[in-house]
């Protein structure tokens, strides 16, 4: 197995409670509890649960008013949802290369890609390790661009003690079953620029209606006031998320323990074989969402994956660069070749990492990795 949700009796108990309460639609008591936990954890001033991270990214694209002719800078090495959100508004993703060590957006190249059509920068914190987010903030304010953080990997991640997802105007989280904390399918939008986006975010998420204001008694009827859709998850799913977030530290500690063991126990092998381990820059704390190795070549990427598969261990590559993907070529613009993204995509191998991985499994993965011999010329 490669990833697996970490479930306990608490999820079952809260799901049963949510069913018994009978309020199955969104924005019930468990939605409020999960939302409060997310505010507390991240420090974000305003959080809205959504049906997915992809939908939170779509909400962000609606909120920054993207339209035809607008451009948004994003890294080539990211999940398709970041680009889809832009394309669905008729705007153009502009793909930029990444840093060879962190695989996060290359800031100098992002700056060079700014045009008079650029309206926003959409950035991912790969593996929950911060992109150069302080520099990005400065860049965006200098050019009057909105900053969107896709923090799907980074719940529990910090840069200089500040939680990721609180630097941009808007940020997104994912609670997909493959993420550290899950509700099966789900996500959240973090609204940090409250003045500009908070009240509209609430409306767009509720079918373009002012229903939330109505329930707070601020208006006496609710009606259609803006464009929007239905991005509210059921309170059943929020119940599951509440349980996961209440178990936050336990899940985090176990993941960090596994990550540390991989990092320490593959270090000598990596050094001998010319394999590069994950690099965690100063000031970054990450929540052990993933563990990757950078192999010398694509031959050794396939080589290690096959070697592990033969030992019953599932390891895998990750994102395929968006700039050269079929949809990326159709809808995007790529001012400069994204050579680093292409090289790294062909070198990266991720090891299985989930909280329920037991110590003998970790031993087996380490033994599998360190028994591999690099084939390509170095």
The H or E element that residue 256 is part of is: helix 248-265
Q: Which is nearer to ligand PLP, 59 or 313 (CB)?
A: 59
Q: Taking Cα atoms as reference points, which of 231, 230, 156, 154 lies closest to residue 189?
A: 231
Q: Looking at 49-57, 84-92, 95-103, 278-286, which segment touches ligand PLP (CB under 6 A)? A: 49-57
Among 33, 89, 109, 153, contact with ligand PLP (rule: CB under 6 A): 153
Among 176, 205, 286, 350, contact with ligand PLP (rule: CB under 6 A): 176
Residue 110 to residue 259: CA distance in whole angstroms: 31
**Pairing state of beta strands 158-159 and 284-285?**
antiparallel
Q: Give the three-state DSSP class for 234.
A: coil
State in angstroms the smallest separation of the CB of 341 from ligand PLP.
14
State in angstroms the smallest separation of the CB of 271 from ligand PLP.
29
Q: Taking Cα atoms as reference points, which of 355, 354, 349, 324 lies closest to residue 339?
A: 324
Among 64, 152, 183, 374, contact with ligand PLP (rule: CB under 6 A): 152
SS (H, E, C) 261-322: HHHHHCHHHHHHHCCEECCCCCCEECCCCCCEEECCCHHHHHHHHHHHHCCCCCCECCCCCC
CB atoms within 10 A of CB 90: 12
Q: Does 286 bind ligand PLP (CB under 6 A)?
A: no
Residue 326 to residue 174: CA distance in whole angstroms: 25
Cβ atoms of 308 and 291 within 8 Å: the answer is: no
Q: Which is nearer to ligand PLP, 78 or 301 (CB)?
A: 78
Residue 185 to residue 339: CA distance in whole angstroms: 33
Q: Does 187 bind ligand PLP (CB under 6 A)?
A: yes
Q: Looking at 145-153, 216-224, 294-302, 340-348, which segment touches ligand PLP (CB under 6 A)? A: 145-153
Q: Does 34 bind ligand PLP (CB under 6 A)?
A: no
Q: Does 183 bind ligand PLP (CB under 6 A)?
A: no
Among 31, 52, 132, 347, contact with ligand PLP (rule: CB under 6 A): 52
Q: Does 53 bind ligand PLP (CB under 6 A)?
A: yes
Tell me whether residue 316 is exposed, middle or buried, using C-beta atoms within 10 angstroms of its C-beta: 0 to 12, 13 to 18, 19 or more.
middle
Q: Does 124 bind ligand PLP (CB under 6 A)?
A: yes
Q: Does 105 bind ligand PLP (CB under 6 A)?
A: no
- C-alpha distance from residue 285 to each of 113, 160, 179, 191, 245 (Å): 29, 8, 17, 22, 19
State in angstroms the smallest separation of the CB of 222 from ligand PLP.
28
Beta strands in the chain (DSSP E): 46-50, 71-75, 92-96, 118-124, 146-150, 158-159, 162-163, 170-174, 187-191, 276-277, 284-285, 292-294, 348-350
Q: Does 238 bind ligand PLP (CB under 6 A)?
A: no
Among 3, 42, 54, 182, contact with ligand PLP (rule: CB under 6 A): 54
Q: Looking at 47-55, 90-98, 242-250, 303-311, which segment touches ligand PLP (CB under 6 A)? A: 47-55
Q: Total residues contacting ligand PLP (rule CB under 6 A)?
A: 13
State in angstroms the smallest separation of the CB of 149 from ligand PLP.
10
Site string for ligand PLP, 64-103 (x = CB under 6 A): --------------xx-x----------------------
Q: Does 127 bind ligand PLP (CB under 6 A)?
A: no
Q: Does 119 bind ligand PLP (CB under 6 A)?
A: no
Q: Which two tokens stand for residue 156?
A: 């529990």
Q: Which two tokens stand for residue 151?
A: 């923090």
Q: Which is nearer to ligand PLP, 176 or 350 (CB)?
A: 176
Residues making contact with ligand PLP (CB under 6 A): 52-54, 78-79, 81, 124, 150, 152-153, 174, 176, 187
């Amino acid at each position: 197995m490669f990833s697996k949700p970490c479930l306990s009796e608490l999820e079952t108990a809260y799901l049963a409670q949510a069913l018994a309460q009978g309020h199955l639609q969104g924005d019930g008591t468990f939605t409020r509890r999960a939302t409060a936990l997310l505010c507390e954890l991240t420090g974000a001033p305003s959080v809205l649960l959504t049906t997915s991270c992809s939908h939170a990214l779509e909400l962000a694209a609606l909120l920054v008013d993207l339209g035809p002719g607008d451009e948004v800078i994003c890294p080539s090495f990211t999940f398709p949802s970041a680009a889809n959100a832009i394309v669905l508004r008729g705007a153009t993703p502009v793909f930029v290369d990444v840093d060879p060590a962190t695989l996060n957006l290359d800031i100098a190249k992002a700056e060079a890609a700014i045009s008079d059509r650029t309206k926003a920068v959409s950035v991912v914190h790969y593996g929950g390790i911060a992109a150069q987010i302080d520099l990005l903030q400065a860049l965006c304010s200098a050019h009057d661009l909105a900053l969107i953080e896709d923090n799907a990997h980074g719940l529990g991640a910090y840069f200089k003690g500040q939680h990721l997802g609180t630097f941009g105007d808007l940020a997104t989280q994912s609670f997909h079953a493959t993420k550290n904390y899950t509700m099966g399918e789900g996500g959240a939008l973090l609204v940090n620029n409250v003045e500009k986006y908070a009240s509209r975010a609430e409306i767009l998420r509720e079918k373009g209606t002012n229903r939330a204001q109505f329930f707070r008694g601020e208006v006496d009827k609710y009606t259609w006031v803006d464009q929007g859709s239905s991005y509210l998850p059921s309170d059943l799913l929020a119940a599951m998320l509440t349980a996961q977030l209440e178990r936050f530290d336990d899940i985090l500690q176990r993941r960090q323990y596994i990550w540390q063991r991989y990092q320490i126990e593959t270090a000598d092998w990596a050094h001998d074989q010319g394999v590069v381990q994950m690099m965690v820059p100063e000031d970054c704390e990450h929540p052990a969402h993933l563990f990757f190795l950078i192999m010398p070549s694509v031959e050794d990427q396939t080589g290690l994956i096959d070697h592990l598969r033969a030992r019953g261990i599932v390891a895998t590559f990750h994102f395929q660069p968006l700039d050269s993907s079929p949809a990326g070529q159709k809808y995007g613009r790529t001012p400069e070749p994204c050579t680093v993204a292409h090289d790294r995509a062909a070198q990266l191998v991720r090891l299985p990492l989930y909280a329920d991985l037991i110590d003998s499994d970790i031993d087996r993965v380490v033994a599998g990795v360190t028994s591999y011999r690099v084939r390509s010329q170095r």
